[in-house]
Amino acid sequence: MEMNGVQGLESGRIGAVSNDTSTAGSKVNQPAFGRLLQEQAREGLNFSKHAAKRMNERGIAFDSQLMSDLEHAVEGARKKGAKDVAVIGAQGVFIVNVPNNTVVTTMSQSDMKERVFTNIDSAVLM
């Protein structure tokens, strides 16, 4: 299954960034790099290589419904100003860097032995 460039979650989505640059004297109206980055981030969640590997190792079932639920949860966290969020659901926990729109790691329910999350500022229950 391929979602947002992640095929079978073997590796994370790697977005292409345009090499086009504009100079002060250029008459071509090109979007700023920051705007391009924001537009790309809005396309959907990306998965880091680490997160994709963890999902495969831990047998976390992934389908279009889960992707939709994750995107909805992250968008809700974004509206509240979250930067790093733990999205907690029946399939497990997904730690997402909101500004980069990237799932950085995952863990299944059985992997949460200590039940301690660090370096997050928000949590969303799915």
Residues 68-100 pLDDT 10s: 999 999 999 999 999 999 999 988 999 999 999
Per-residue b/e over 44-57, b at no fewer than 16 CB within 10 Å? bbbbbeebbbbbee
Phi, psi for residue 47 in degrees, rounded to 5: -120, 125
Query: What are the angstrom distances between the C-alpha of 7 and each of 12, 25, 71?
Result: 8, 42, 17
d(CA 41, CA 26): 27
pLDDT of residue 118: 87
Handedness of CA 74, 78, 82, 83 (dihedral sign): positive
**Model confidence, pTM:** 0.67
pLDDT per residue over 8-18, tens digit each?
444 444 333 33
Confidence (pLDDT) at 47: 94
Q: What is the pLDDT of residue 33?
A: 57
In this prediction, residue 44 carries a pLDDT of: 84
Q: List, in sequence order, every residue forming a beta bridge with 107; answer none if it has no partner.
A: 93
What percent of the chain shows pLDDT beyond 90? 47
> Could you read off the pLDDT of 16-32 as tens digits, one per residue?
333 444 444 444 555 66
